[in-house]
């Protein structure tokens, strides 16, 4: 009995020791990681932080807009209608509720392509403000691709 308790305690200690190491080694995602964590990862100076923060904020805003448009979990619009029809599970009812028109899909795709161009431009702007060492580290940061299907991002 005592051996099991000691073994369980050691397992918990090992698990707790591994958790911070795993999260510390994670590369940042420009579309979702907090700016302060990106700044720390790149070791940005205060001047660099002031100049880069608006670009990162805008990139993150564009990613949120694309997720809302796409109907990502936790966001409204563009999502699927539950089986059984309407919002409360009753029959489908009102017109084309839940269906997406082809023209609408094309407009959404075009909008995401415009947003992706803006993201690319802002990433290039960020790179132009970094030192060579910071540029090397920046290469490992995940840049959002809002044009790709959700499973590929």
Q: Which residue has the higher pLDDT, 80 or 138?
A: 138
Q: List the end-to-end C-alpha distance of the chain, in Å, as a whole number.
A: 48
Give the pLDDT confidence of 9-51 residue by residue, as tens digits: 544 444 444 434 334 567 899 999 999 999 999 999 999 999 9
In the predicted model, is pLDDT for residue 130 greater than 90? yes
The pLDDT > 90 percentage for the chain reads 51
Does 58 map to a domain?
Answer: yes
Specify the long-range contacts of residues 53-59, CB closer than 8 Å, at least 24 apart. Answer: 55/122, 55/123, 55/125, 55/126, 56/30, 56/126, 58/118, 58/122, 59/30, 59/31, 59/119, 59/122, 59/123, 59/144
Mean pLDDT of 118-140: 97
Does 5 map to a domain?
Answer: no
Mean pLDDT of 133-143: 96
Return the exposure string of 68-103: e unless at least 16 CB atoms fall within 10 Å of the residue's CB, then b.
ebbebeeeeeeeeeeeeeeeeeeeeeeeeeeeeeee
Mean pLDDT of 80-92: 52
Does 93 map to a domain?
Answer: no
Does 52 map to a domain?
Answer: yes
Name which of 125, 122, 124 is nearest 114 in CA terms. Answer: 122
Residue 101's pLDDT is 60
Residue 14's pLDDT is 44
Residue 27's pLDDT is 86
Mean pLDDT of 108-118: 94
Alpha-carbon separation of residue 111 from 2, 46, 54, 57, 85 (angstroms): 63, 34, 21, 19, 29
pTM, two decimals, is: 0.64
In the predicted model, is pLDDT for residue 81 greater than 60? no
Q: How many domains does the chain have?
A: 1
Does 152 map to a domain?
Answer: yes
Does 10 map to a domain?
Answer: no
Q: Which residue range is the domain that position 46 belongs to?
A: 26-76+100-153
Residue 97's pLDDT is 52
Handedness of CA 23, 60, 125, 48 (dihedral sign): negative
Residue 134's pLDDT is 97
């Amino acid at each position: 009995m005592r051996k099991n308790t000691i073994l369980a305690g050691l397992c918990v200690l090992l698990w707790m020791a591994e958790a911070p190491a795993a999260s510390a080694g994670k590369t940042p995602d420009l579309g979702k990681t907090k700016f302060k964590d990106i700044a720390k990862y790149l070791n940005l100076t205060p001047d660099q932080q002031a100049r880069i923060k608006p670009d990162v904020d805008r990139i993150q805003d564009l990613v949120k807009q694309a997720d809302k448009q796409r109907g990502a979990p936790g966001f409204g619009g563009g999502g699927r209608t539950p089986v059984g029809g309407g919002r409360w599970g009753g029959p489908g009812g009102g017109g084309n509720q839940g269906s997406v028109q082809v023209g609408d899909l094309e407009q959404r795709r075009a909008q995401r392509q415009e947003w992706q161009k803006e993201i690319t431009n802002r990433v290039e702007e960020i790179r132009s403000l970094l030192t060579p060492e910071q540029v090397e580290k920046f290469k490992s940061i995940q840049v959002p691709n809002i044009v790709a299907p959700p499973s590929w991002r």
